[in-house]
Homo-oligomer: A and B are copies of this chain.
Amino acid sequence: MNDLKFIEPVKDRLQLVEERLHAQAKGYHPAMEAALEHLLSSGGKRIRPVLTLLAGGMLKTDPQRLVAMAAAVEMLHTATLVHDDLIDGSLVRRGIPTLNTQWSSAATVLTGDFLFARAAKLAAETESVTALHLFSQTLATIVDGEITQLFGGRGRASRADYNRRIYAKTASLFETSTSATAIIANSDEETKQKIRLYGYEIGMAFQIVDDILDFTSQTEKLGKPVASDLRQGLITLPSLYYIESYPDDQDMANVIEHDPCDEGCLDRLLASIRDSGSIEKAQNEAEQHVARAIEALTNLPDCIERTSLIELARYIVRRNV
């Protein structure tokens, strides 16, 4: 993502964020330094700090506090990924082996905890109690979403459940990434609401596109869709649209109910979903979120950062990784 044009206005500050992130294990156990280096080395898209830096640039948020907040949101995101990958037993993240493949569960749990601590410390460096409130609330929302999914079982399929889940999983932290900048800058209420809404809408769009990519991306090895969500019995937006059109589909019922699911059944279902127009409907919904995000930027200061925020919103529904 680093070659994308919308990053230009914040490239220098993003470098400061990167340095700040790398410095967070200095003076602690060498294993923690190594773990943090490993986690940060994969690159990742850094979309959350970019959002913070662009929104804060537009709102003239104090640069030092802004960089601290941008680092805090990326650190919080990284911490949640460490525990997620452990829980899911994931082997690869961002193209490199996950921590849990190399370390014991104990070390992985503690590494995540350490990163939570450093995220909280970075958030405290914004010197804004309100931003800290928001930050801790966001962590509670993210974890509550994961717990709901963990206890929810296979195949829960309501639109309300889905929206709650993608809000908790993704949109909540996107929202915090943008709205914290207005809080730190002491912007007026209308500005706070608009930049919060922008973050919320692109966060929802981002997760919907992620869920679509699970249907459309080809795994390198298999040359067929990953479909990891359906395999886990997880109903995302394309499946929701499909179920709305074909509520009695037997393949869907089978895949949801059986763990592991029948691969023949799954392949047939994937072809049906692709042919049904459900993926296009989901993509259309993501684009509506992005349209609302761009709409929310109207009347916010006309500057290069606002232009970049518009481009970033469009990129989110255009990306294929």
Contacts and interface: CB of A to CB of B under 8 A. Distances in A.
A116 to B, nearest CB: 5
Interface in A83-140: 83, 86-87, 104-107, 109-114, 116-118, 120-121, 123-125, 127-129, 132-133, 135-137, 139-140
Contact of A150 (B83, B107, B117): B107
A148 interface: yes
Interface in A182-234: none
A147 interface: yes
Main secondary structure of the interface of A (DSSP, over half): helix
Contact of A136 (B121, B143, B146): B121
B143 A83 contact: no
A240 interface: no
Contacts of A121: 133, 136-137, 140
A6 to B, nearest CB: 31
A131 B150 CA distance: 34
B147 A114 contact: yes
A75 to B, nearest CB: 11
A151 B31 contact: yes
Nearest to A127: B129
B144 A28 contact: yes
A87 B114 contact: no
A116 B114 contact: no
Q: Which of A32, A116, A128, A139 has the most CB of B within 10 A?
A: A116
A29 interface: yes
Contacts of A116: 113, 116, 139
Given A120-B139, A135-B120, A140-B117, A109 B86 contact: yes
A96 to B, nearest CB: 21
A8 B110 CA distance: 37
The 6 closest A-B pairs by CB, nearest first: A120-B136, A117-B139, A121-B136, A117-B140, A87-B106, A124-B132
Interface of A: 28-29, 31-32, 80, 83, 86-87, 104-107, 109-114, 116-118, 120-121, 123-125, 127-129, 132-133, 135-137, 139-140, 143-144, 146-148, 150-151
Given A83-B110, A120-B139, 7 more contacts: A32-B147, A80-B113, A83-B109, A112-B113, A113-B116, A117-B139, A128-B129
8 contacts: A83-B113, A87-B109, A104-B150, A105-B105, A117-B140, A120-B132, A124-B135, A124-B136
